[in-house]
Amino acid sequence: MLYSLLPFPFFWGGEEISRMALVTTAELCDANPQYIMNGELRALLPKFKIYGQRQVFYGQVVTLRVFEDNVLVREFLEEKGDDRVLVVDGGGSLRCAILGGNPVVQAQNNGWAGIIVNGCIRDVDEINGCDIGVRALSSHPMKASKKGLGEKHLPVHFGGTRICDGEWLYADTDGILVSKSELSV
Protein backbone atom coordinates (compact mmCIF):
# COMPACT_ATOMS: atom_id res chain seq x y z
CA MET A 1 0.00 0.00 0.00
CA LEU A 2 1.03 3.59 -0.60
CA TYR A 3 0.56 6.78 1.31
CA SER A 4 -0.89 10.01 0.00
CA LEU A 5 -1.01 13.25 1.97
CA LEU A 6 -4.26 14.49 3.47
CA PRO A 7 -4.72 18.19 4.36
CA PHE A 8 -5.33 17.44 8.07
CA PRO A 9 -4.31 14.93 10.77
CA PHE A 10 -6.01 11.56 10.32
CA PHE A 11 -6.99 9.39 13.27
CA TRP A 12 -7.48 5.62 13.16
CA GLY A 13 -8.43 3.76 16.33
CA GLY A 14 -7.45 6.78 18.41
CA GLU A 15 -3.95 7.03 16.85
CA GLU A 16 -2.86 9.84 14.57
CA ILE A 17 -1.69 8.43 11.24
CA SER A 18 0.33 11.64 10.67
CA ARG A 19 -1.72 12.97 7.78
CA MET A 20 -1.34 9.82 5.70
CA ALA A 21 -3.93 7.52 4.15
CA LEU A 22 -3.28 4.14 2.53
CA VAL A 23 -3.47 3.98 -1.28
CA THR A 24 -2.24 1.17 -3.55
CA THR A 25 -0.82 1.48 -7.06
CA ALA A 26 -3.91 -0.37 -8.33
CA GLU A 27 -6.17 2.20 -6.65
CA LEU A 28 -4.11 5.03 -8.16
CA CYS A 29 -4.62 3.51 -11.61
CA ASP A 30 -8.35 2.98 -11.04
CA ALA A 31 -8.85 6.54 -9.74
CA ASN A 32 -6.86 8.24 -12.49
CA PRO A 33 -7.78 6.69 -15.88
CA GLN A 34 -7.56 10.08 -17.59
CA TYR A 35 -3.87 10.34 -16.64
CA ILE A 36 -3.21 6.85 -18.00
CA MET A 37 -4.94 7.75 -21.27
CA ASN A 38 -2.97 10.97 -21.74
CA GLY A 39 0.36 9.42 -20.68
CA GLU A 40 0.80 11.40 -17.47
CA LEU A 41 0.60 8.16 -15.42
CA ARG A 42 2.76 5.27 -16.62
CA ALA A 43 3.66 1.83 -15.28
CA LEU A 44 7.15 0.39 -15.59
CA LEU A 45 7.38 -3.06 -17.13
CA PRO A 46 7.20 -5.75 -14.41
CA LYS A 47 10.84 -6.82 -14.45
CA PHE A 48 12.17 -5.36 -11.21
CA LYS A 49 12.87 -7.44 -8.10
CA ILE A 50 11.91 -6.14 -4.65
CA TYR A 51 14.64 -5.53 -2.06
CA GLY A 52 14.76 -3.70 1.26
CA GLN A 53 12.24 -3.72 4.10
CA ARG A 54 9.98 -1.08 2.53
CA GLN A 55 7.98 -2.90 -0.07
CA VAL A 56 5.82 0.20 -0.41
CA PHE A 57 7.20 3.67 -1.01
CA TYR A 58 6.68 6.83 -3.01
CA GLY A 59 8.35 10.17 -3.55
CA GLN A 60 9.56 12.77 -5.97
CA VAL A 61 12.05 11.47 -8.53
CA VAL A 62 15.72 12.38 -8.86
CA THR A 63 17.29 10.89 -12.01
CA LEU A 64 20.80 9.66 -12.69
CA ARG A 65 22.33 7.89 -15.70
CA VAL A 66 25.51 5.82 -15.20
CA PHE A 67 27.05 2.72 -16.74
CA GLU A 68 28.91 0.21 -14.59
CA ASP A 69 30.11 3.07 -12.38
CA ASN A 70 28.71 3.95 -8.96
CA VAL A 71 30.53 7.14 -7.85
CA LEU A 72 27.59 9.44 -8.64
CA VAL A 73 25.10 6.99 -7.07
CA ARG A 74 27.05 7.15 -3.79
CA GLU A 75 27.30 10.96 -4.00
CA PHE A 76 23.53 11.36 -4.37
CA LEU A 77 22.78 9.02 -1.48
CA GLU A 78 25.14 10.97 0.80
CA GLU A 79 22.76 13.97 0.40
CA LYS A 80 19.55 14.45 2.38
CA GLY A 81 16.85 12.42 0.68
CA ASP A 82 13.77 14.32 1.88
CA ASP A 83 11.62 11.26 1.09
CA ARG A 84 12.64 11.35 -2.59
CA VAL A 85 13.30 8.36 -4.85
CA LEU A 86 16.61 8.02 -6.70
CA VAL A 87 16.01 6.55 -10.16
CA VAL A 88 19.25 5.19 -11.62
CA ASP A 89 19.47 4.16 -15.25
CA GLY A 90 22.40 1.77 -15.25
CA GLY A 91 21.84 0.87 -18.89
CA GLY A 92 20.33 -2.46 -17.85
CA SER A 93 23.81 -3.89 -17.33
CA LEU A 94 23.93 -7.31 -15.70
CA ARG A 95 27.76 -7.42 -15.58
CA CYS A 96 28.29 -5.74 -12.19
CA ALA A 97 26.44 -4.11 -9.29
CA ILE A 98 26.11 -0.32 -9.23
CA LEU A 99 24.55 -0.23 -5.76
CA GLY A 100 25.67 -2.01 -2.60
CA GLY A 101 24.89 -2.23 1.09
CA ASN A 102 26.90 0.76 2.38
CA PRO A 103 25.25 3.36 0.11
CA VAL A 104 21.82 1.90 0.89
CA VAL A 105 22.45 2.20 4.63
CA GLN A 106 23.52 5.80 3.99
CA ALA A 107 20.36 6.41 1.94
CA GLN A 108 18.21 5.01 4.74
CA ASN A 109 19.95 7.23 7.28
CA ASN A 110 19.62 10.29 5.03
CA GLY A 111 15.86 9.91 4.53
CA TRP A 112 15.55 8.57 0.99
CA ALA A 113 12.23 6.78 0.40
CA GLY A 114 13.58 4.43 -2.24
CA ILE A 115 15.96 3.62 -5.06
CA ILE A 116 15.13 2.17 -8.49
CA VAL A 117 18.08 0.64 -10.36
CA ASN A 118 17.97 -0.33 -14.01
CA GLY A 119 20.88 -2.65 -13.35
CA CYS A 120 22.22 -4.82 -10.53
CA ILE A 121 22.78 -4.47 -6.80
CA ARG A 122 24.90 -6.47 -4.36
CA ASP A 123 25.00 -7.08 -0.58
CA VAL A 124 21.39 -8.23 -0.79
CA ASP A 125 21.18 -9.43 2.83
CA GLU A 126 22.40 -6.06 4.09
CA ILE A 127 20.00 -4.17 1.80
CA ASN A 128 17.09 -6.38 2.87
CA GLY A 129 17.80 -5.32 6.47
CA CYS A 130 17.38 -1.61 5.63
CA ASP A 131 14.18 0.41 6.08
CA ILE A 132 14.12 1.64 2.49
CA GLY A 133 12.58 0.47 -0.76
CA VAL A 134 14.89 -0.82 -3.47
CA ARG A 135 14.03 -2.22 -6.90
CA ALA A 136 16.63 -3.63 -9.28
CA LEU A 137 16.88 -6.06 -12.18
CA SER A 138 18.97 -8.55 -10.21
CA SER A 139 21.95 -9.00 -7.91
CA HIS A 140 25.58 -9.49 -8.90
CA PRO A 141 28.67 -9.99 -6.71
CA MET A 142 31.09 -7.88 -8.78
CA LYS A 143 31.42 -4.19 -7.93
CA ALA A 144 31.26 -1.29 -10.36
CA SER A 145 34.12 0.92 -11.48
CA LYS A 146 34.88 4.23 -9.78
CA LYS A 147 35.44 6.71 -12.61
CA GLY A 148 32.70 9.18 -11.65
CA LEU A 149 31.12 9.19 -15.09
CA GLY A 150 27.42 9.81 -15.61
CA GLU A 151 24.67 12.39 -16.06
CA LYS A 152 22.42 13.93 -13.41
CA HIS A 153 18.85 15.28 -13.54
CA LEU A 154 18.19 14.29 -17.17
CA PRO A 155 15.27 12.21 -18.47
CA VAL A 156 15.99 8.47 -18.46
CA HIS A 157 14.20 5.80 -20.45
CA PHE A 158 13.82 2.22 -19.20
CA GLY A 159 11.11 -0.18 -18.09
CA GLY A 160 9.11 0.84 -21.15
CA THR A 161 8.74 4.50 -20.19
CA ARG A 162 10.49 7.84 -19.86
CA ILE A 163 11.14 9.09 -16.31
CA CYS A 164 11.95 12.74 -15.66
CA ASP A 165 13.55 14.49 -12.73
CA GLY A 166 10.80 15.97 -10.52
CA GLU A 167 8.10 13.45 -11.45
CA TRP A 168 6.52 11.21 -8.78
CA LEU A 169 7.16 7.48 -8.36
CA TYR A 170 4.87 5.05 -6.53
CA ALA A 171 5.96 1.48 -5.80
CA ASP A 172 4.31 -1.46 -4.07
CA THR A 173 4.18 -5.21 -4.56
CA ASP A 174 1.95 -4.78 -7.64
CA GLY A 175 4.45 -2.65 -9.52
CA ILE A 176 5.94 0.77 -10.12
CA LEU A 177 4.08 3.85 -11.39
CA VAL A 178 5.48 7.18 -12.56
CA SER A 179 3.33 10.32 -12.68
CA LYS A 180 3.96 13.85 -13.89
CA SER A 181 2.32 15.15 -10.69
CA GLU A 182 1.65 13.92 -7.16
CA LEU A 183 -1.46 11.73 -7.10
CA SER A 184 -4.24 11.05 -4.66
CA VAL A 185 -7.44 9.03 -4.76
Task: Indicate which CATH number applies to the domain containing 65.
Answer: 3.50.30.40
What whole-number distance in Å separates Cα of residue 64 and Cα of residue 61?
Answer: 10
Say if 83 falls within a structural domain.
yes
The confidence score (pLDDT) of residue 185 equals 66
* pTM for this entry: 0.88
Say if 35 falls within a structural domain.
no
Count of all residues that appear for the chain in the document: 185
Q: DSSP labels for 110-131? A: TT--EEEEEEEE--HHHHHTSS
122 is in an annotated binding site: yes
Say if 25 falls within a structural domain.
no
The residue among 85 and 3 whose pLDDT is bigger is: 85
Whether 25 shows a pLDDT value over 70: the answer reads yes
Per-residue buried b or exposed e for 42-59, using 16+ beta carbons within 10 Å of the residue's own CB: bbbeeebeebbebebbbb
Say if 8 falls within a structural domain.
no
Domain span holding position 61: 44-179
What whole-number distance in Å separates Cα of residue 175 and Cα of residue 46?
Answer: 6
141 is in an annotated binding site: no
CA distances from 92 to 67, 109, 116, 121 (A): 9, 27, 12, 11
Whether 5 shows a pLDDT value over 50: the answer reads no
Whether 15 shows a pLDDT value over 70: the answer reads no
The phi and psi torsions of 128 (rounded to 5 degrees) equal -65, -15
Say if 52 falls within a structural domain.
yes
Say if 18 falls within a structural domain.
no
Q: Who contacts 75 (Cβ-Cβ below 8 Å, separation ≥6)? A: none
162 is in an annotated binding site: no
The residue among 22 and 19 whose pLDDT is bigger is: 22
Whether 30 shows a pLDDT value over 50: the answer reads yes
pLDDT band, very low/low/confident/very high, at 23 (cuts 50, 70, 90): confident
118 is in an annotated binding site: no
The count of structural domains within the chain is 1
Say if 26 falls within a structural domain.
no
Q: What is the mean pLDDT of the chain?
A: 90
The residue among 130 and 12 whose pLDDT is bigger is: 130
Percent of the chain whose predicted confidence (pLDDT) is above 90: 86
The confidence score (pLDDT) of residue 18 equals 36
Say if 103 falls within a structural domain.
yes
